[in-house]
Chain A
Amino acid sequence: MDSDTDVRNGGDSTGPQRAAPLLTRLRHSEAVNGWLLISPTALYALLLLAAPLVTLFTFSFFKDGYLTIIPEFTLENYQATLSDPIFAALMQRSLWVSGLVTLATVLTAFPIAYYLSFHVAPALKARWLFLITIPFWTSYLIRVFLWKVILGYNGVVNSGLKELGLIDKPLEFLLYNVNSIVLTLSHSYAPFAILPIYVALEKIDRALLEAGQDLGESRLMTFWRVTLPLAMPGVIAAVLIVFIPTIGDYVTPQLIGGGKIPMVANLIQARMLDMDNKPLGSAVAVISMAIVAVVSILFLALNRRFLRGQK
């Protein structure tokens, strides 16, 4: 809202009111009140989100003098990264892994959200939601590490199977591969996918499902033609919420992949710290961000028909 409108809202612009002190007018202005309300959050976001991003962006155009940064404009970092086959390979792997994680997470989250929304008694829903958040009670690092305990050479799965006499020596394919990374990440991000899908399903008027059946469709077809399209905003949110952070995940490839299956975040870490080349690391980070942004926007564009205003 612009200041012009505020003045008109503030009074019917007759003489004495127009002459009111600036401070009084400001206090009555909705726009000013609005800015005041969001200012603490805005400030916080600016300092902790925007500032690091700007720094990163700036660094990516600077030159690297070993252990120092030379503030001279250059595109070398971008040229080096874009022509780097390691970057291309790791970026591809990152996209592939987080694509798999997203697919696995959303596909498993949907039935849970559906059950929660349609089959759990309303009085018990809060308890179920509470249970779903249990994985968050321990830190992400510990959860990832626990998967290592479960899948490891002498881990829970292997010793269990050996105990049962099903295998002679431990299975080695459980850990240190893409599957184990996908498994770990899917488990970690499950609640993030369940919740938005659950919310979208909760918003569906149950009469719509009856209407679907009333108009001659079976339960399955009603799901396909009514429930699923109406749940899509939640599914799309879940996809983005899972896809965007997992592509930059650092801990899981490091621990579960055992460093053998690095992803793009590990590359950034290597450039920034191991090589101590912050401008080059920054460029990798900026390019990764751009790629994630493009993929996300493409995904949104492909699904825009589900996101048009409803109700």
Chain B
Amino acid sequence: MSTSRATMIEFDNVHKYYGDYHALRGISARINGGEFFSLLGPSGCGKTTLLRTIAGFEDISSGAVMIDGRHMENVPANKRPTNMVFQSYAIFPHLSVAENVGFGLRRDPRSRAEKARAVEEALEMVGLKGYGARAAHALSGGQRQRVALARALILKPKVLLLDEPLSALDRKIREQMQVELIKLQREVGITFVLVTHDQEEALVMSDRIAVMFEGEIAQLADPETLYRRPNSRRVAEFIGVMNFLPCQVTGEAGGHIQLEVAGLGQVEIEPAQAPGVTRGGPASVGMRPETLTILYEGQQAGGREAPGVVEEVVYYGDMTYYDVRLDGLDHSVRISMRNVFGRPVLDIGTRTRVAWSPGALVLFR
């Protein structure tokens, strides 16, 4: 999928202050060449600021940003090997679509005709063939975004920066554009750095994701690791849904961590299931809704099971979400079940058994 694994962007202990406000607090990370990398976090976490330090729109207070091995200090935005797709798309309203796409080609030594062909090719790549003569201000949101993409990609940057590019689009077009962006990235092999607050979008599109809170990277990992082994409750809560049960760390034996979990009893887990710190004392375990299964009459759990009562049922067509209160717990856990033909949806108040597996647990402090 990637053309090269060498480091394309490197942040070395990057700090950024706005007056007294500490926007970036010692960011250190590497983004690989040809990678689809996402900066994910709630608004105000510094993800856009970090992206803008790559583009050169934001000076950093200390630390270093390197692109392709080159120090970016004192390199202005117009001299950097990066191009950006802005959140508002920033399409020049006084220019036509073709003039927008060709904006960055002014000093390109190619002939006028060759440039016009390059513009037409770029428009074709983003699915806007034949739109060149249109006025930019007459385009729809999705089309504007395609123009912004073509305008950036025509310059063949080493890094394409995308600042919440899909947030202004409605759901259908957004999902379509996600797939198109992934395909496009594989096709051109350019490093993409995406800023988003939408965890689903980040999971769908990225090779790796940096989750940011308050100017720091909380976790940097591939989507599956982030989802299955979040290193803190905060990351777990930000990405998808997770059930938390209080527990006590009772000991460590034979490389395993022993827990006493409310509602589940004695459990032993692998150290890999505790990405955070894990000495004794109170803690909590997390479980994704799809790692829990409701057992129907006569079904046997492969592993372990816990009894409980159905408290809430939310029917989604292909899925049903159950909130089940396990015996001995004061709150319910959410369970997602794929609906299978011939299997009834349970009613509220039904007593049931829930199958779970120790391997799906994550331990948090």
Q: Report B76-118 residues with CB < 8 Å from chain A CB.
A: 76-79, 82-84, 86-88, 90, 92-94, 103-104, 106-107
A164 at the A/B interface (Cβ < 8 Å)? no
> B155 near A306 (CB under 8 angstroms)?
no
Q: Report A196-253 residues with CB < 8 Å from chain B CB.
A: 205, 207-208, 210-218, 221, 225-226, 229-230
> B83 near A309 (CB under 8 angstroms)?
no
A119 at the A/B interface (Cβ < 8 Å)? no
A308 at the A/B interface (Cβ < 8 Å)? yes
CA A211 to CA B89, docked complex, whole Å? 9
Residues in A neighbouring B56, C-beta threshold 8 A: 213
B181 at the A/B interface (Cβ < 8 Å)? no
- Min Cβ gap A144→B in Å is 39
Residues in A neighbouring B82, C-beta threshold 8 A: 214
A127 at the A/B interface (Cβ < 8 Å)? no
Known A-B contacts A308-B135, A311-B137; A215 and B103 likewise in contact (beta carbons under 8 Å): yes
> B92 near A208 (CB under 8 angstroms)?
yes
B57 at the A/B interface (Cβ < 8 Å)? yes
> A211 near B76 (CB under 8 angstroms)?
no
Most buried by B among A207, A211, A214, A230: A214
Q: Size range of the interface on B? A: 20 to 34
> B107 near A211 (CB under 8 angstroms)?
no
A310 at the A/B interface (Cβ < 8 Å)? yes
> A208 near B90 (CB under 8 angstroms)?
yes
Q: CB within 8 A of B94: which of A215, A216, A306? A: A306
Q: Interface size on A (CB < 8 Å)? A: 22
CA A212 to CA B99, docked complex, whole Å? 12
CA A309 to CA B79, docked complex, whole Å? 33
- Min Cβ gap B179→A in Å is 26
Known A-B contacts A205-B90, A210-B86, A210-B90; A216 and B137 likewise in contact (beta carbons under 8 Å): no
Residues in A neighbouring B334, C-beta threshold 8 A: none
B151 at the A/B interface (Cβ < 8 Å)? yes
CA A289 to CA B155, docked complex, whole Å? 52
> B94 near A211 (CB under 8 angstroms)?
no
* 13 extra interface residue pairs, beta carbon distance < 8 Å, beyond A205-B90, A215-B103, A216-B79: A207-B86, A207-B88, A210-B86, A211-B84, A214-B83, A215-B78, A215-B152, A216-B104, A216-B106, A217-B78, A226-B92, A308-B135, A309-B137
Interface residues of A (CB under 8 A from B): 205, 207-208, 210-218, 221, 225-226, 229-230, 306, 308-311
